Structure 1
Amino acid sequence: MRQDSLAWYVHRLRAMEPAEVLWRGGRLARDLGLVPRRRPARLPAAGCGQRHFALLDPVAVRAAAEEHPDAAAEVLMAAREALEHRFRFFGNPPAPLGPEIDWHHEPLTGHRWPAVPSRRIDYRFGDQDPKWIWELNRLQHLPVLVEAWMITGETRFVECAAQHLRSWLGHNPPGHGIAWLGGFEAGVRAMSVSVTLRALRCWEGLDPGLESRVLGLLARSAEKCWAERSLFSSANNHLVGEMGGVAVSSILFPELPRSRRDEERALAVLAREADRQILPDGAGVERSLRYHLFTADVFLLVVAALVDRGDPPPDALVGALRRSAAYLGSLVHPGESTPWYGDDDESFALRLQAERTRSVQAHLSALDAVMGWPRRPAGDDFAAAVLRGGLGGRTALATEPPPPARDLVAPDGGLVVLRSRTGRRLLVDVGPLGQAPIAAHGHADALSVTLDLHGVAVVVDPGTGSYYRHRDWREAHRATRAHATVEVDDLSQSVPGGLFLWTRGADVRRRHVDVARGLVDAEHDGYTRLPDPVLHRRWVVAPPDEEGCLVVDLCAARGEHRYRVGWPLSSDAGVERLPDGHLVTVGGHPVRFTYGASVPVEVFASRGDDEAQLGWTSPHLEERVPAWHIGTVQRARGPWAHVTSIRSVTGPETPPAPVEVTVSEDRLVVREGAGGDVRTLVIGLAGAGDVTVVDGAGGRRPPVVTPAVT
């Protein structure tokens, strides 16, 4: 056994409670054949199920195509690429698969995954990446082929969908190959196959033999999803995907063996997970916006299947979707960029249009259509119109959604959004690393900041980089250094134990949050593990009547440490060095970053640095592009303070505004400006949110002090 794999198993075992160890031991016994498996139930004969369209209706799809011709053209282009066996996943180039698809062959590297019992395939520690082949085997292109048939009436699209199902079944017997590795892949695949088969049943060319084999696939998938469902420390979006596959297939195909039992217990698990995965404030528990969207999309698809059948969805699912909608609507207003955070593998629950990534606005539009909420100002997109029309006026009859807030405080998810009246959106991360105990999809980004001005991203999250193929990218993009926060002694705040495992996470304490005045005061203990402990505290001061902000950092320590304050920028940004900072221009907006510290600083700017793994942003998984990463590096003994002033440059007459900071036992004093135009911030260290602003003319602004929100 390789040393890295042994270390991973040790760390993973330590994260488990005794009940999980016993449960996993039972699964291993079943895999080894020590426990007899239940005999598969007898399948119903083909042709005995429901023969009306479900979710995908030809009239609705054609109406959506007329309403959204550009999106329909993209659907047809994606369907033609599927006809030609050309597939593009993540940031990789399109890959031609030849006249016959080999469902085990990954064309980018030429690797062929073995067609052996799935339990014998170890994908974690080899040199190959399973993500591309898993994406192909999810068969999420099948609903797009069905839509192309409905739009054009050309049977070549639906014939291709049938042929791909026939081919896949021939190459992937249950329990064999990479496609059957784990219940999650079976669950995600079952959702797309279920929607596709219900449409194929209304096609006169469907072969009864194929129909029977696909029903068998769904039955075996439901068995696998339940038997190998993700529990205990693995109960994250994987459990939702597994139970979503069971629920959707059971609802759409009641003739499946044990469908009533499977539906009931899958819905029970999903109802419980709805309260766990979508927190009381509407944020996702995994601290990943992508997996939040995926989880909410699975809940939405299950609700849509129930509504299509004429049944009310569980209150827990409706409540979770309502909470989620309020959070997401407050996070991303129309015209704003999406502030991705945490891992992002571009997962879909169901693909109904040709978008490369699932956007927040697309999810909210689909949510409005299924829940019966009023259309948003932007209206439906193609997928939402398909769902709205396919349900034929039936909805979940949910209560009105809460209106999106201008600002946002998510105490459970740990995110604060501060907006200005002039077009600034500032996000501050004051939350946990991820879903306990392993925080698989979290990044070491405590107290990090992202910034949008007028809908244009300026300071960004660097993205995910890679999962398996480029392991150095994986480590770099989730490390503290890549994010807009403070790194101490070239170490991350949290301690990794594997690609999807953290052994120690930084714990954030929110000392004070006041969105009305634009103040966040928080600290984390990630560096208190050092021999000379360091406590990092950050104040973000961004009043709603100002476009800019001040970010003040204090690291309390006794000994000497190396501090790096970084600001990862959009790949569109240009950077010019200034005497005390940088001039950043993005989207035609010049923004001045000015630095000051209690010790002399070294100003740096990195772009596309492979050696330091700095100066990159990742727009898609397995893709990254050079982008400026600016900031300062310094060494200091004892308490260290730093301030970054981020201000828009409104014209050539805008004067430079140097900043300086001094620290004493009981206060920080920040001065910004020169001559008679100096603003002073006095920050009391003993209290929470004790910030007083004094204008240059001596005028004292109202203190930014209110009862703390923790």
Structure 2
Amino acid sequence: MDANVYIAEAQAIGHGSVRLFASHRFDVGPAPQWNRCPLTGVLAPARAAHSISITDRALVGDIKYVWELNRHLHWVALAQAWSLSGDARHLHALEVQLRSWLDQCPYGIGPNWTSSLEYALRLLNWSAVWQLIGGLASPLFVGAEGQALRQRWLDSINLHVRAISKHFSRHSSANNHLVGELAGIFVAAQTWPMWTSFEALAKQARLELEREVLLQVAPDGVLREQAFEYATFTFDFFLAVERAAAAAGEPMSQAYLARMQSMCEFTAAITTVKGAVPQVGDADGAEAFRLDPRPGRDCFAAMQQKGAALFGCEAWLPREQFRRDDVAWLDFSADGARSVKGRDGLAQRKLDFPDGGYFLFGRDLGGSNEILGLVDAGPLGYLGIAAHGHADALQVWLSVGGLPVLIDPGTYSYWADKEWRDYFRGTSAHNTVRIGGVDQSLSGGRFMWTRKARIENRSVQRGLGGSFRLVAEHDGYLRLAGRFRHQRRVRFEPLERSLLVEDVVRGRSPELVELFWHFAPGWSAVLDGNQVLLSRPGQALTLRVEADVPGRLELLQAQTNPPLAWCSSAYNEKEPCQTLRWSANAAQVDLKTLMTWPGDVDRAGRCGEDR
């Protein structure tokens, strides 16, 4: 651990520069205007929270940025810098921000009291700060003014806990929000045990968390929200609770720990040798807490590193350059969680995740010549609204030599213009078939699907040498007048170095049928007849499309009306990507997409002949 990293970050915060999300910094001042959106500059009104529309950009700006600042992840860096250096300037900077927040954000007033999950996230970060600065005996609370500040903070903590307990996310919204809210209450009760009422709230939160981990995480480790990055966010809630329970001498159950371990196993399985992970479902850069202040955080690598420490599985450790300092600030001395299943992570790497609906294929997994692919043949999302799922049924993702080639373009933004939200979560942004110009599932809003495509008739076969067959179809287009069905057959032949995807579309009357393939930035794509030549330094692949009806094959990039051929690697960031689209008006069509590569990728990154 390099103390200078923490001190430099604390100095920047003290001067008013705060990092939000992965790497963007905003000048918010030493004592920020906490109700002002850092992105748009809009100052939300200081009125009752229940009267504020968080979707009104003219009123609140981009609420994600308001909330991100007010989660106070950056306060942890101030506390860390003080604990490492003893420099009172860092403690003073924390005091200035704490006082200003308590002044500007009284209970129930303003945009920072519009979400129970946000209360919980503040509590998690306040807990870390409280412990780092010395708790009740902290120098921050010396003297009459310090004691008054401590009491104001404790009063706010009490109000946060009580507000959450009255406004849990229930029913169709009982997803990661509910887990976070329960985690906030449980951790708060362990950190500030001065209220007798907290004991009962914590006991109930623990019971619910034991239930929710089994409901929200499938037995194979897939988060049922069908959003891979959200799994890392939710894992940190489960981890915060597990660490607090272990420290109190009352560990969480073996069933709870087993689901956490399964989450790590799934994430390890979908991570390429170079650390890439498919961007399936929503992703918003959210962190439950931030213990490493360096920018460019890899949430999947951080999760694997914490999982490796918790369960004693070194096989999960990410490559050295992706490792973070998070685990240095967490006490993993209690070993009750380790070896829950007695498995050695990647040594027994799984490929089939039938509960979550993801199936992997490849060769030389973990090696320099790695081919790793994924087929999405699972449900749209969790509960009735499936809030964070995308209309991506039967999409295929592929990496070669650890680098993505066929990609899921990601999320971009929740609160940008609706057409961008609809595009990134829609079918045309995924490597699958769209019919009639509409998504497989029917959207009811930015975080709601009112009619969900269902996967049917799924079968998977595996052969010697890593060969792979999958057949599945979905019913998403039965709602169209033509009553369409889309069946996809995926065949991977490692010895032949080929991936064949066959799409069978059957309907009663003609509609626009489109097939999309999205290529990762960094690859050069050249359309030559009915094939695309893909290349990047040291690598070359060919993708060919054949159809039994005449159609149009085109290579697109950065269209805006409507949006098409874009990708997003981080929240609120987007860039062009080349996208191949085949289209035709037809009632029935058989499509074949064949991808081949001429040889392995050797350790120097060159594409060569078989050796």
Deviation of the 1:152 alpha carbon: 3.2
Q: For the structure 1 residues 201 and 210, does the alpha-carbon distance in structure 2 shift closer, same or farther, using more than 3 Å as the test?
A: farther
Q: Does 1:563 align with 2:513?
A: yes
Which residue of the partner structure matches residue 200 of structure 2? 261
Name stretches of at least 5 consecutive residues in structure 2 with no aligned partner. 601-611
Superposition CA RMSD, Å: 2.1
User: Which is worse superposed, 289-298 or 197-206?
Assistant: 197-206
Counterparts of residues 59-78 of structure 1 (less than 5 Å): 65=1, 69=2, 74-78=5-9
Deviation of the 1:323 alpha carbon: 1.8
CA distance in 2, matches of 1:257, 1:469: 44
Which residue of the partner structure matches residue 359 of structure 2? 416
- Candidates 574, 577, 586, aligned match of 1:624: 574
TM superposition score normalised by structure 2:
0.90
Which residue of the partner structure matches residue 209 of structure 1? 148
Counterparts of residues 343-354 of structure 1 (less than 5 Å): 343-354=282-293
Deviation of the 1:592 alpha carbon: 0.8
- Secondary structure at the counterpart of residue 466 of structure 1: coil
- Secondary structure at the counterpart of residue 415 of structure 2: coil
CA distance in 2, matches of 1:147, 1:382: 15
- Candidates 387, 390, 396, aligned match of 2:337: 396
Counterparts of residues 172-571 of structure 1 (less than 5 Å): 172-201=105-134, 203-206=138-141, 207-354=146-293, 355-374=295-314, 376=316, 378=318, 381-387=323-329, 390-392=331-333, 396-399=337-340, 400-404=342-346, 405-421=348-364, 422-516=369-463, 517-571=467-521
Q: For the structure 1 residues 109 and 377, does the alpha-carbon distance in structure 2 shift closer, same or farther, using more than 3 Å as the test?
A: closer
- Secondary structure at the counterpart of residue 595 of structure 2: strand
Alpha-carbon contact 2:441-2:451 (below 8 Å) kept: yes
CA distance in 1, matches of 2:550, 2:154: 69
CA distance in 2, matches of 1:213, 1:375: 46
CA distance in 2, matches of 1:584, 1:77: 43
1:600-626, Cα deviation, whole Å (9 max, x unpaired): 221111111112311111111111011
Deviation of the 1:473 alpha carbon: 1.2
Which residue of the partner structure matches residue 55 of structure 1? none
Name stretches of at least 5 consecutive residues in structure 1 with no aligned partner. 1-64, 652-710
Which residue of the partner structure matches residue 604 of structure 1? 554
Residue 204 of structure 1 aligns to which amino acid in structure 2? P
Which residue of the partner structure matches residue 167 of structure 1? 100
Which residue of the partner structure matches residue 63 of structure 2? 130
Larger Rg: 1
Which residue of the partner structure matches residue 597 of structure 2? 648
Deviation of the 1:209 alpha carbon: 2.1
Q: Percent identity?
A: 29
Deviation of the 1:171 alpha carbon: 0.9
User: Which is worse superposed, 455-464 or 313-322?
Assistant: 313-322
Counterparts of residues 667-678 of structure 1 (less than 5 Å): none
Alpha-carbon contact 1:407-1:418 (below 8 Å) kept: no
CA distance in 2, matches of 1:626, 1:76: 37
Q: For the structure 1 residues 75 and 604, does the alpha-carbon distance in structure 2 shift closer, same or farther, using more than 3 Å as the test?
A: farther
Deviation of the 1:157 alpha carbon: 1.8
CA distance in 1, matches of 2:165, 2:116: 8
1:406-448, Cα deviation, whole Å (9 max, x unpaired): 4521111111111123411111000111012111111000000
- Secondary structure at the counterpart of residue 115 of structure 1: coil
- Secondary structure at the counterpart of residue 170 of structure 1: helix
Q: For the structure 1 residues 268 and 92, does the alpha-carbon distance in structure 2 shift closer, same or farther, using more than 3 Å as the test?
A: same
CA distance in 1, matches of 2:596, 2:92: 58
- Secondary structure at the counterpart of residue 123 of structure 1: coil
Residue 253 of structure 1 aligns to which amino acid in structure 2? W
Deviation of the 1:204 alpha carbon: 2.6
Residue 305 of structure 2 aligns to which amino acid in structure 1? S
Residue 414 of structure 1 aligns to which amino acid in structure 2? G
- Candidates 591, 595, 599, aligned match of 2:541: 591
CA distance in 2, matches of 1:518, 1:527: 27
Q: Does 1:109 align with 2:40?
A: yes
> What is the count of residue pairs matched by the alignment?
580
CA distance in 1, matches of 2:493, 2:474: 23
CA distance in 2, matches of 1:445, 1:556: 19
1:460-483, Cα deviation, whole Å (9 max, x unpaired): 111101101332211110110111
CA distance in 1, matches of 2:319, 2:195: 38
Alpha-carbon contact 1:418-1:544 (below 8 Å) kept: no
